[in-house]
Each structure stands twice: as C-alpha cells, then as structure tokens.
C-alpha cells in the first residue's frame, strides 16, 4: 500500500551529501522542500534550487517544529559524525537531536524517515555475514560513540512509532559516496592522487559502499510506502563494487593513471599496522583506531543484505558505479581546494 504523494518535505542535513541528493530527488518529483540550516548565507545554493530555508539546528527544538509545520514527511539526514570517541557530542547531536525531530514530526503529524547507519552492527558484522535487518544489534563498546548514538537514536524513532506518536521508519546505509562527499572520497582521493594504490589480494573484495543517490531513492521509497512504518531497511548494496573497480573508476574521474600493484593480505596488515602507529605518534590516536577497520573493509566482502529493500520497496538504484564513482572523484578534483565546495 502506498501513501499519498509527498507534497511538502523537510530535510535536515540538506547541505550535506546525502541530504542534498534527497533534496534533488524530491524537487525532481515536484515536491516542495524545506531545509533547516545553521547559516542562511552559506546555504543560498539550496535557495537557488527553490528550497525554503529555515534557520535552526538539531539543538533548537522550536526551529525544527517550525520547519516541520505543514510537511507530509521529514527526512532526518543530519548527524554528528567523525572518528572521535567522546560520547557527549554524539549524544547531543544524534540522540537528543533526533528526539527533537520526533517531537516536531508528532506536532506536525508528519511521517519521519530516519537515516541511521550500518555502524549499529558494530565490528562483528563480518563475523556474522550476511547481515540483514533481523540481526540483533550488539552492545557496542564505549569507544564506539558514533555507533552507540545511532543505535539509540534509531531506537527512539522505532519506539515513537510503536507508541503511536509518529509514523517512523529507519534506513541503514553503509559508507556513502557521491558529489559533495566530505568523508570517503576525499580520504581516498588524496591517496590515489599520488598515483599508486596497492591492491590487497588483487582488490577483488566487494566494498560495503553505496552511492548517496541510491540511499536518497530508498529513503523516499520508504516515505511513500505505508507498510514501511516501524520497519528498518538496509540500503547497503546498490551495485557490486570491488576495490579494483573503485580505483579504476576513480582514475577516470581524476584523469590520471594509477599504479595498482597486488600485495598479500599479510603485507597489507603490516602496512595498516604501521599506519596506525604513525597516526598515534603524531597525536591522531582517534584516526589510528579506525585503521584496522579500514583494513577489514578492504579484505572482507560486503556483509550486508539489502533484500528487504528490494522486495518491499522495489528499490532499484539508478546510478551505476562506472558513472557514479567517476563523477564523485571528478567533483572532488574540481572542488577540493574551494572553501565553499561542500557548503
């Protein structure tokens, strides 16, 4: 059963990569769009697209209520992210901020689609592959502040739905890429720009990454599917993408040749161990803590199943990696020196 068409929607995090793709998809469908933004002046590019800007932030419950008023759906894509381990910033941004969004949706009688993350599965995801939405969520260690906060925020949305306070559903993307990417593409691009990228085991591992446009399409499909209320959807595999594929398509976007010597798993592990030690030595211990996670990602196939989304939402992503990866790295090459590139 489908819900009525979305007439007006609020998007939090609209200046970010995923939020901007949600905005573009909604506008293309003829929907009126609002965005809650901290800085109106730096968000004028959204206004130029026809988006109504509301000054506010997740900590400001009143601005969220104003933004949600008269909306059919709220897409909550804003989040505190990063490698930090301190709990309070993530609790305030992701947990309390989501509670404010829930309250705004309840006041406006708006449906809520919450953007969670596969981080809720923790480090055990590779041990229990394939991982679908029925997998019990583990108790995460204190150091995984981001994953813990996404678990708690997602639980708040689903509890609010179960209690009848809002119609709510959650989507769980893995690492995302696309134009305006501030995380994945910039970190990989600075390495690839050197012209060499060793492929552990030949680079045949399929990566747990997805194009942000595919996640936007899935999130909108959730909002339009009445039966999706109270459900969670892994939007985790739009198309298979190996490490070797990623480097090959990125090279097209960067317009340069990249040497890809094959290396053994043991040599790769030693390389990442040295990287972690180096980061620790220069005072970047939080980043060092994620080095082994990156190694795991490069050496284990995508563990997540997206079968529920394909079956219940008819999720059929439209941008193939050959196009999407090249465009994402081409955009980075053109914009990474601009201070206004991702605003």
Catalytically active residues, by annotation: 146
Distance CA 273, CA 53 (A): 46
Q: Which residues pair with 114 in a beta bridge?
A: 76, 170
Burial of 85 (0-12, 13-18, 19+ CB in 10 A): middle
- Taking alpha carbons only, the member of 28, 26, 21, 24 closest to residue 9 is 26
Residue matched to tokens 């991982």: 131
Q: Rounded to an integer, what distance in angstroms lies between the CA atom of residue 58 and that of residue 14? A: 13
Kind and range of the H or E run holding 341: none
Contacts of 270 (CB under 8 A, 6+ apart): none
How far is residue 326's CA from residue 332's CA, in Å, rounded to a whole number? 10
């Amino acid at each position: 059963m489908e819900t009525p068409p979305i007439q007006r929607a609020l998007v939090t995090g609209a200046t970010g990569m995923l939020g901007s793709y949600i905005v573009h998809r909604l506008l293309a469908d003829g929907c009126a769009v609002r965005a809650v933004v901290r800085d109106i002046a730096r968000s004028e590019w959204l206004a130029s697209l026809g988006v109504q800007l509301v000054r506010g932030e997740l900590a400001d419950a009143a601005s969220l209520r104003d933004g949600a008023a008269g909306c059919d759906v709220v897409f909550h894509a804003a989040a505190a992210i990063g490698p930090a381990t301190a709990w309070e910033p993530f609790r305030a941004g992701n947990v309390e901020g989501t509670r404010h969004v829930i309250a705004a949706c309840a006041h406006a009688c708006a449906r809520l689609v919450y953007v969670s993350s596969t981080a809720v599965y923790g480090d055990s995801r590779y041990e229990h592959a394939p991982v679908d939405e029925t997998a019990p969520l583990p108790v995460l260690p204190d150091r995984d502040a981001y994953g813990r906060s996404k678990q708690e925020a997602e639980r708040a949305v689903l509890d609010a739905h179960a209690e009848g306070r809002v119609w709510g559903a959650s989507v769980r993307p893995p690492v995302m890429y696309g134009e305006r990417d501030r995380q994945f593409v910039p970190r990989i691009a600075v390495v690839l720009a050197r012209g060499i990228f060793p492929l552990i085991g030949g680079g045949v591992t399929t990566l747990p990454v997805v194009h942000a446009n595919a996640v936007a399409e899935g999130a909108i499909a959730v909002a339009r599917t009445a039966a999706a209320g109270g459900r969670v959807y892994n939007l985790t595999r739009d198309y298979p993408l190996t490490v070797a594929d990623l480097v090959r398509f990125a090279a097209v976007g960067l317009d340069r040749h990249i040497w890809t010597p094959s290396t053994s798993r043991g040599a790769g592990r030693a390389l990442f161990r040295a990287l972690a030690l180096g980061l620790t030595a220069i005072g970047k211990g939080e980043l060092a803590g994620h080095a082994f996670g990156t190694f795991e990602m490069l050496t284990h196939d995508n563990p997540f199943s997206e079968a529920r989304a394909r079956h219940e939402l008819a999720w059929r992503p439209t941008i193939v990696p050959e196009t999407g990866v090249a465009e994402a790295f081409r955009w980075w090459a053109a914009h990474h020196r601009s201070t206004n590139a991702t605003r």
